């Protein structure tokens, strides 16, 4: 890994001294009525630098070398513009006319498009959200906040742990990229959350559908790109303070960020905290295995937790490109509901009198990351390099108990997992001519996982992946763009043998039992995809993407053999599993005007040797082992789609409805696959109050309903889940304080305090209802110490 960093900085040094001549891109930003747009943002994506339009609408970005750049122009209330420009031995003057848009769902800056084209030209289905959306829809976790987007769901364990689901696919089929590096944190486990500070992301892009070609084997189901925030404007210093409160579990959260840019030398620091108590449910009891058990004070005992997160970024933005290093640490301590490990018993559920106590069973997770990003101008092309190191340490703690005739374990560490990952992504963006662009890429990753504790789930293992790809985009004419590419990957899974000691008495070992055998497997395969985007006019866009992708089995899928307490089950792997192969078709139809937007995104996926965790009719022979689940493979079909309509009867009234449906089919047993999200319909009405006061403005009031149908299409031995409807309320406004605006947002989730069960919740297995009514308050105060002159 150290040699990768050395090579990166040698490349930077080599290009710093080349090409001394510098040029300027300048112009004005106006609307179609020729009114200047003060405060519009103009950014060069490749350099991560930009400018803000002044009182005359003028912008200027200077000290630029010859090259091909992507200009992105945004302003609140207007459609974003993406334009590719070429600097060649002269200054450029480019004026922009932005078209108004009152829609919430609109095309904005798209980073996931690999080429220097806008969101219209690329063929993938991409949803883009900004920080305002995350603040306004602040939920229990970053993943839960994304659930307002059709096609996105979450697998929950309580209220502090969640992992993403895209179109019914999750676990190792979804890639989460943080600043270009794949997040690695035991994502194969349903109770292993996504270790991301929910206050950190500024821009997020969600790619629905096959993405293995560009992102690797695990991108078979989709990708969530958490994008690095843009560098602050040159010679500025500022930040923001954010605070949240949630009534249901008495959550108090804070996040403080400060950033600055001194002549291209940039930094950004953030520190976030969260502390929450046991959460409330609208029920006094629950039924498990025909026993009615109490829920004292309507609080689920031992579901409290806390977080302490920090990040620090230091970077350099120059005419040859930009480079940055980000160091972050995520730390979470969260309790598991007392009855979630083993068989719930009434004496365990008695209130301990302290709703903030984090007792055993609990988990402690620490995720440390170092990420280096660089984008270097090479002649007129761009070399993009992302390097990363991650250390994910997860502790499951519980009270020790005797294992057969063996000695009673010491300490409370039931299961410890230490996963170290080194990653390297290199892309070379080559503009062949005005119509044809190419990307040549390499991705490599190496992992090592060590176990500890008195419980056993999987052995120590090593894992490696490497892939090469080429991807091209061709502008056939002014209304049609075609893209496609090929990729080849190779992977290694090296899993150690594990022997369980057999005791004849508490001190004497009489022999050993093989818990897991040694597994050494190599996997090789290819991916391919092609797509077309048709845009005959400004209002209509049709995209079609067809691809074949694959996924290598993970170490847990090949070798697990133990109690996964957080999910209340005994899991068995299968060392003979083969590579998954998927054939996938994705269609996206979009029509929009200034006050109307409609989209339809059907999809069809056929998977050969689809790997999934299947519930069986067996129960573990180990103490408190629960139901037996086995990793198995069958051929399967996933189909469905999303539909969204947004409309403004008047400019201030925003109406949105969206629906999603996922249908899957196990072709071997003619049943549905487990953990499938139900059909749902989302409806939202928001009214922006037209009046303004000296100290208050941008006021809004909104109502959101979310209907979930019964989920009766379940796998064998999986419980169906009845449907429900949730009602949410929101309001907010800006409070003007001198030269800044304090943003106030008040929401009520589950306003009617409905008692319901989430089909994707891990506590669904215990028939536990979800969180009840929850009042949320969010305050965000931006501040400026040194502003743009």
Residue-level pLDDT at 113 = 53
Label residue 220 by pLDDT band (50, 70, 90): confident
CA dist list (Å): 62 to 21, 44, 611: 11, 11, 53
Range of weakest confidence among 101-105, 121-125, 494-498, 765-769: 101-105
Whole-number Å distance between alpha carbons of 748 and 757: 19
Angle at CA of residue 489, ends 483 and 491, nearest 5°: 155
Residue-level pLDDT at 15 = 47
Helical segments of 160-253, H only: 212-215
pLDDT at 117 over 60: no
- Sorted by sequence, the CB contacts under 8 Å of residue 449 that are 6+ apart come out as 417, 418, 419, 420, 458, 460, 461, 462, 463, 555
Segment 522-537 shows an average pLDDT of 92
Residue-level pLDDT at 106 = 45
Cβ atoms 775, 247 nearer than 8 A:
yes
State CA 305 to chain mean position distance: 21
Label residue 157 by pLDDT band (50, 70, 90): confident
Q: Which tens digits make up the pLDDT trace of 320-339?
A: 999 999 999 999 999 988 77
Range of weakest confidence among 409-413, 558-562, 754-758: 409-413
Longest CA pairwise span in the chain (Å): 89
Q: Which tens digits make up the pLDDT trace of 555-589?
A: 999 999 988 765 667 889 999 999 999 999 999 99
Label residue 623 by pLDDT band (50, 70, 90): low
Whole-number Å distance between alpha carbons of 483 and 124: 10
Write out the DSSP string of 521-585. Answer: EEEEEEEEEEEEEE-SSSSEEEEEEEEEEEEPPPHHHHH-EEEEGGGTEEEE--TTPPPEEEEEE
Where does residue 767 fall: left (phi above 0), alpha (psi -120 to 50 degrees), or beta otherwise? left
Query: Which of 45, 591, 653, 7 is closest to 317 using CA atoms?
Result: 45
Range of weakest confidence among 205-214, 397-406, 672-681: 397-406
Structure tokens at 175: 């890639």
Label residue 110 by pLDDT band (50, 70, 90): very low
End-to-end CA distance of the chain: 42
Whole-number Å distance between alpha carbons of 667 and 679: 21
pLDDT at 418 over 90: yes
Where does residue 19 fall: left (phi above 0), alpha (psi -120 to 50 degrees), or beta otherwise? left
- All structural domains of the chain, each given as residue ranges with its CATH number in brackets, are 2-98 (2.60.40.10), 125-777 (2.40.170.20)
pLDDT at 366 over 90: yes
Helix (H) or strand (E) holding 15: helix 2-16
Whole-number Å distance between alpha carbons of 328 and 313: 9
Whole-number Å distance between alpha carbons of 153 and 208: 12
User: Backbone phi, then psi, for 48, in 5-degree steps?
Assistant: 60, 35
Residue-level pLDDT at 482 = 95
Q: Which tens digits make up the pLDDT trace of 168-179?
A: 998 889 999 999
Label residue 119 by pLDDT band (50, 70, 90): low
Residue-level pLDDT at 104 = 52
Range of weakest confidence among 105-114, 252-261, 397-406, 483-492: 105-114
Whole-number Å distance between alpha carbons of 256 and 714: 44
Q: Which tens digits make up the pLDDT trace of 457-474?
A: 999 999 999 999 999 999
Query: Which of 336, 302, 733 is closest to 566 using CA atoms?
Result: 336
Q: What secondary structure letter does DSSP report for 219? A: G
Residue-level pLDDT at 17 = 42
Segment 741-767 shows an average pLDDT of 93
Pairing status of strand 23-31 against strand 96-98: parallel
Segment 47-74 shows an average pLDDT of 86
Label residue 118 by pLDDT band (50, 70, 90): low
Residue in this structure with the two tokens 């829609």, named with its chain if needed: 103
Q: Which tens digits make up the pLDDT trace of 640-651?
A: 999 999 998 888
Segment 653-676 shows an average pLDDT of 94
């Amino acid at each position: 890994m150290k040699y990768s960093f050395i090579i990166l900085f040698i490349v930077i040094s080599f290009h710093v001294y080349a090409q001394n001549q510098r040029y300027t891109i300048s112009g004005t930003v106006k609307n179609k009525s020729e009114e200047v747009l003060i405060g519009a943002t103009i950014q060069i994506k490749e350099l991560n630098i930009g400018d803000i339009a002044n009182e005359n609408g003028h912008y200027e970005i200077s000290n630029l070398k010859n090259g091909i750049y992507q200009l992105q122009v945004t302003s609140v209330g207007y459609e974003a513009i993406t334009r590719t420009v070429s600097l060649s031995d002269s200054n450029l003057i480019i004026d922009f006319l932005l078209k108004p848009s009152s829609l919430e769902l609109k095309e904005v800056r798209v980073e996931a498009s690999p080429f220097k084209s806008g969101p219209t030209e690329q063929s993938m289905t991409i949803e883009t959200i900004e920080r305002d959306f995350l603040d306004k829809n602040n939920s229990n976790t970053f993943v839960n906040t994304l659930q307002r987007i059709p096609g996105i769901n979450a697998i929950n364990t309580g209220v502090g742990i969640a992992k993403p689901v895209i179109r019914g696919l999750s676990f190792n089929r979804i890639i989460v990229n943080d600043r270009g590096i794949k997040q690695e944190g035991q994502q194969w486990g349903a109770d292993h959350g996504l270790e991301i500070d929910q206050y950190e992301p500024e821009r997020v892009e969600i790619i629905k559908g096959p993405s293995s070609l560009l992102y690797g084997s695990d991108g078979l189901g989709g990708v969530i790109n958490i994008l690095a925030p843009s560098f602050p404007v040159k010679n500025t210093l500022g930040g923001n303070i954010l605070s949240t409160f949630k009534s249901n579990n008495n959550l108090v959260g804070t996040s403080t960020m400060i950033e600055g840019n001194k002549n291209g030398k940039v930094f950004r620091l953030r520190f976030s905290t969260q502390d929450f108590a046991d959460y409330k449910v609208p029920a006094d009891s629950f039924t498990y295995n025909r026993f009615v058990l109490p829920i004292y004070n309507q609080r689920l005992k031992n579901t409290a937790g806390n977080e302490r997160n920090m990040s620090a970024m230091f970077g350099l933005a120059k005419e040859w490109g930009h480079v940055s290093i980000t160091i972050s640490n995520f730390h979470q301590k969260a309790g598991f509901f007392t009855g979630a490990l083993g068989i719930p018993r009434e004496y365990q559920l008695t209130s301990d009198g302290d709703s903030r106590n984090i007792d055993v069973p609990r988990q402690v997770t620490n995720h440390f990351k170092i990420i280096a990003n660089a984008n270097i101008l090479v002649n007129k092309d761009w070399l993009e390099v992302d390097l990363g190191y991650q250390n994910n340490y997860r502790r499951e703690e519980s009270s020790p108990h005797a294992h057969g005739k063996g000695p009673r374990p010491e300490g409370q560490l039931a299961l410890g997992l230490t996963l170290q990952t080194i990653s390297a992504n290199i892309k070379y963006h080559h503009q062949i001519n005005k119509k044809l662009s190419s990307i040549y890429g390499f991705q490599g990753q190496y992992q090592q996982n060590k176990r500890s504790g008195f419980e056993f789930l999987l052995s120590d293992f090593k894992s490696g992946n490497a892939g090469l790809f080429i991807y091209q985009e061709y502008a056939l004419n002014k209304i049609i763009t075609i893209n496609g590419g090929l990729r080849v990957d190779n992977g290694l899974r090296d899993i150690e043998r594990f022997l369980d000691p057999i005791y004849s008495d508490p001190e004497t070992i009489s022999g050993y039992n093989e818990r897991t055998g040694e597994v050494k497997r190599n996997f090789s395969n290819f991916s391919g995809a092609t797509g077309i985007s048709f845009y005959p006019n400004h209002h209509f866009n049709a995209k079609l993407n067809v691809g074949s992708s694959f996924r290598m089995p993970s170490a847990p899928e090949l070798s697990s053999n133990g109690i996964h307490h957080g999910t209340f089950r005994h899991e068995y792997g299968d060392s003979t599993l083969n590579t998954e192969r998927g054939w996938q078709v994705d269609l996206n139809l979009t029509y929009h005007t200034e006050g109307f937007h409609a989209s339809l995104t059907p999809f069809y996926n056929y998977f050969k040797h689809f790997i999934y965790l299947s519930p069986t009719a067996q129960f573990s022979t180990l103490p408190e082992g629960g139901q037996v689940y086995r990793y198995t493979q069958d051929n399967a079909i996933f189909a469905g789609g999303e539909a969204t309509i947004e409309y403004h009867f008047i400019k201030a009234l925003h109406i949105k409805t969206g629906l999603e449906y996922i249908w899957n089919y196990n072709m071997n047993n003619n049943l549905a696959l487990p953990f499938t999200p139900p059909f749902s319909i989302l409806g939202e009405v928001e009214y922006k109050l037209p009046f303004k006061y000296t100290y208050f403005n941008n006021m809004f009031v909104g109502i959101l309903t979310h209907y979930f149908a019964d989920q009766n299409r379940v796998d064998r031995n999986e419980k169906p889940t009845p449907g429900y409807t949730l009602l949410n309320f929101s309001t907010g406004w800006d409070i003007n304080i001198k030269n800044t605006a304090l943003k106030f947002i008040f929401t009520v989730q589950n306003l009617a305090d409905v008692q319901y069960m989430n089909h994707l919740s891990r506590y669904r297995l215990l028939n536990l209802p979800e969180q009840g009514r929850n009042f949320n308050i969010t305050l965000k105060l931006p501040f400026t110490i040194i502003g743009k002159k």
